[in-house]
Amino acid sequence: MRSANAEQEALMLFDHLVVGSTDLGAARAHVEDALGVCMQPGGAHAVFQTHNALMGLQDGLYLEAIAPNPAVSAPIRPRWYDLDRYVGDAALSNWACAVQDMDAALADMPDGAGAPVPVSRDALSWRMAVSADGTTPFDNLWPALIEWPEGVHPAANLKPTGVRLRRFTLVHPDGEALAAALARHLSDDRVAVEVGPVALHAAFDTPNGPRSL
């Protein structure tokens, strides 16, 4: 039986949503057109050679648009969020959950959840769990795990937008197994799992009324 400390270390908290693309401008435009709210400039990630834009959401969450950075050379390892194999239009493609202790949490995650990688953007540093091929379990529907330094979170520095996530739905052919695995680590009424072809859907309340990605 796991100790109470081990249980706590394995818990995940919903952290942010990810819109992927081969081009950051396209990812940012997709978010802004869908939600009717502007994103803020983010920055560049040296390890994975990506760059991003950000949008603050209510309840301490945020939304990230991300793409490979064409201004720098390719990374020496596969990019996170499976961006090296991204094809098609910009779309909601991934999500991330925060953990208190990355090493302890990974010991209890599904195979393929990744290994800790130090990452930085400007003055902000954190650790991210990234697999050798840049994917996460359940066809990238398993959340990427992130460990922020104590007392540090990018959402605190983002402009209020009045956008609130109402529902986040994961759809997978083996949805029952995904739901069971998530239930061991995450308790969040906004997250739902359905059975069907792989897909992600997010419903929001915005200053412009209900919107979705």
Return phi, psi of residue 125, to 5°: -130, 145
Distance (Å, whole) CA 59 – CA 112: 29
**According to the model, what pLDDT value does residue 151 have?**
86
Distance (Å, whole) CA 78 – CA 37: 31
Give the sheet arrangement for strand 209-212, strand by strand. 191-195, 164-172, 199-206, 209-212
**Helix or strand (DSSP H, E) at 57:** none
Distance (Å, whole) CA 193 – CA 176: 8
Model pTM? 0.92
Contacts of 3 (CB under 8 A, 6+ apart): none
Largest CA distance in the chain: 50
**pLDDT tens sequence across 43-102:** 999 899 999 999 999 999 999 999 999 999 999 999 999 999 999 999 999 999 999 999
Distance (Å, whole) CA 47 – CA 52: 14
Let me know how many helices (H) and strands (E) the chain has, helices first.
5, 12
**pLDDT tens sequence across 113-138:** 999 999 988 888 899 999 999 999 99
Tokens of 204: 């929001």
Residue owning tokens 């050379």: 73
In the chain, domain spans: 4-160
* Strands 191-195 and 50-56, sheet pairing: unpaired
Return the CATH class of domain 4-160: alpha beta
HSE-CB at 205 with a 13 A cutoff on CA atoms is: 6
